[in-house]
Structure 1
Amino acid sequence: MNREEQFGILESLLFAAGDAGLSTEQLTEVMEITHIEALNLLELLSERYNGNADRGLILLELAGTFQLATKKAHAEYLRKLVEVPSNTVLSQASLETLAIIAYRQPVTRMEVDEVRGVQTDGPIRTLVAKGLVTDKGRVDGAGRAKLYVTTSEFLDAFGLNSLEDLPKLADPEADDPDQNEMDLFFDRFNQSKEQEEE
Structure 2
Amino acid sequence: MASKLANLEVLLYVAGDNGLEEQNLIELLEVDGEELGQLVTRLQQKMKADPDSGMQIIHIANTYKMTTSQQTAKIIEKYFQKDLTKNLSQSALEILSIIAYRQPITRIEIDDIRGVNSSGALQTLIWRGLIKQDGKKDAPGHPKLYVTTDYFLQYFNYQSLADLPLIEDFEDTTDGEEIDLFDSKGSADKHLEKEG
Q: Normalising by structure 1, what TM-score?
A: 0.48
Structure having the higher helix fraction is: 1
TM-score normalised by the chain length of structure 2 = 0.48
Q: Which of structures 1 and 2 has the larger relative contact order (alpha carbons within 8 angstroms, sep 6+)?
A: 2
Larger Rg: 1
